[in-house]
Amino acid sequence: DLPARVTIHEVGARDGLQNEKATVPTAVKAEFIRRLADAGLSTIEATSFVHPKWVPQLADAEQLFPLVSDLPVALPVLVPNQRGLDRALALGARRVAVFASATESFAKANLNRTVDEALAMFEPVVRRAKDERMRVRGYLSMCFGDPWEGPVPVHQVVRVSKALMDLGCDELSLGDTIGVATPGHVLDLLSELNEEGVPTSAIGVHFHDTYGQALANTLAALQHGVTTIDASAGGLGGCPFAKSATGNLATEDLVWMLQGLGIHTGVDLGRLTATSVWMADQLGRPSPSRTVRALTHK
Ligand code: HMG
Ligand code: MG
């Protein structure tokens, strides 16, 4: 049985723009988020409160967040540590995400920490965020494969997932950061997580389309009962130079499939596509989304 409705967790303004070579002006980001909300997306990840040298594309978080915080949508932000949470709280953010890795190589590259050191860094962040009655998401990257380590064993992913839940995260987002997952692997991981006590209701999925499997993987997850799907408007976030960073699942491709399945999303596909075409103009390159291309082909 498929769910009647799903929540699309829109990551274009954060995961998308953090990987674009061009730095987008703050006013354009704010307009992008407003248009996404207007297209019916109800959860729009806005930015990250990370070190500006690590992610210069999102260094304007303090300027951006107040420009969109009046919107009647959830605006989660990424916070790696207490400093990030302080910055988010100062601006009135109500949802935060910490971001762990299933592999040591990516933990080092992304957070300058071992997996367990990163979990220790998140512990007081999650505790304080829960004290503040915030909703906390725990991202987990490299759940299927890692560019340095190759295939990632399911038990390794389960261990870090459980650790994130034990910290008090309300939901997980299982990231196929390099896009190597296939549907059977997705189902194996979901089943193993359930067996280890992580309920499907706490699990979101975050696929990348490197090998064209993102929708197949999404369908498998839906059939398993997952109702939170991450996607990036227009497929933003593709880096043509790094195989490991090829684009996120495009929100338009996801909405097209969900509409066809009769699953409610609240998203207006026409408005969303127009937004991605507008953003592609700002970035000076066409959207890689097949659905955007098909709907705008003249
Ligand atoms: P570090 O160098 O180990 O930092 O980086 P530190 O703790 O030693 O502190 C060094 C300096 O950074 C200090 O300043 C701190 O104050 C400052 P100094 O005393 O030298 O002047 N600092 C900060 N400044 C602003 N905001 C902060 C902050 N924290 C420390 N929050 C750190 C550790 C975690 C900070 C760094 O590694 C970092 O910012 N990493 C973020 C990387 C990132 O954002 N990656 C992308 C997100 S994850 C992802 O993309 C995957 C995902 O999308 C899923 C998928 O696609 O599959 C989620
Ligand atoms: Mg991503």
Which mean pLDDT values do the consecutive 10-residue runs of the chain (298 residues) have?
A: 97 93 92 98 98 95 98 98 98 98 95 97 98 98 95 98 98 96 98 98 96 97 98 81 68 98 98 97 92 90
141 C-alpha to center of ligand 2: Å? 9
Q: Are 142 and 115 spatial neighbours (Cβ–Cβ below 8 Å)?
A: no
- Can you read off the two tokens belonging to residue 104? 């040591």
The count of other CB atoms within 10 Å of the CB of residue 215 is 19
Could you report the per-residue pLDDT of 269-294, keeping only the tens digit for each?
999 999 999 999 999 989 999 999 99
How far apart are alpha carbons 196 and 192 in whole angstroms? 6
If residue 7 lies in a helix (H) or strand (E), which one and from where to where?
strand 7-10
31 C-alpha to center of ligand 1: Å? 26
> Can you give the pLDDT at residue 243?
52
119 C-alpha to center of ligand 2: Å? 20
> Can you give the pLDDT at residue 241?
36
User: What atom in ligand 1 is closest to the CA of residue 121?
Assistant: 34
Q: 66: buried, middle or exposed (CB in 10 Å: 19+, 13-18, 0-12)?
A: exposed
233 C-alpha to center of ligand 2: Å? 12
Give catalytic status of residue 239 as yes or no. yes
Counting other chains too, the contacts that 265-273 makes at CB distance below 8 Å and 24 or more residues apart are 265/5, 265/6, 265/8, 265/40, 266/40, 266/41, 266/42, 267/8, 267/39, 267/40, 267/41, 268/39, 268/40, 269/295, 270/295, 271/35, 271/38, 271/39, 271/40, 272/36, 272/39, 272/40, 272/41, 272/233
- Can you read off the two tokens belonging to residue 243? 């195989």
3 state SS of 277: helix
pTM of the model: 0.97
Q: Candidates 19, 50, 115: which one to mutate for ligand 1, based on the most atoms within 8 Å of Cβ?
A: 50
Which residue's alpha carbon is nearest to atom 20 within ligand 1?
A: 51
From the CA of 118, the nearest ligand is: 1
Q: Which of 27, 239, 242, 294 is catalytic?
A: 239
> Can you give the pLDDT at residue 242?
43
ipTM of the complex: 0.97
User: What atom in ligand 1 is closest to the CA of residue 173?
Assistant: 54
